[in-house]
Amino acid sequence: QYFATCSMDKSIKVWHAQSFKLLKVIDKARHAGHGTSVNKLFWSDRQNSLVSCSDDRTVSVWNLNFSLRYENNTN
């Protein structure tokens, strides 16, 4: 129900797949993210985490268990 994107702006964004609502931004300012372009993502369903690699030659693992709560407020 979610998908993630990475970008040359050094960020990772997690989206709700049906509504396309932006749920989370992972970047250096908010979460000690990558210092340069993020090139690849791998979604690990088993541990609900993202693995990312960047031009800064680092690989990071992001645990998303606590942050992926989507509330549909269209009653």
The burial of 43, by beta-carbon neighbours within 10 Å (0-12 exposed, 13-18 middle, 19 or more buried), is given as middle
Which pair of tokens denotes residue 33? 């993210």
Q: Quote helix, strand, coil % in the chain, to nearest 5.
A: 5, 45, 50
Mean pLDDT of 42-70: 78
Task: Give the predicted TM-score (pTM) of the model.
Answer: 0.76
- End-to-end distance of the chain based on CA atoms, in angstroms? 20
Alpha helices in 12-71 (DSSP H): 28-31
pLDDT of residue 5: 95
pLDDT band for position 12 (cuts 50, 70, 90)? very high
Summarised one tens digit per residue, pLDDT across range 55-67 is 989 998 888 764 4
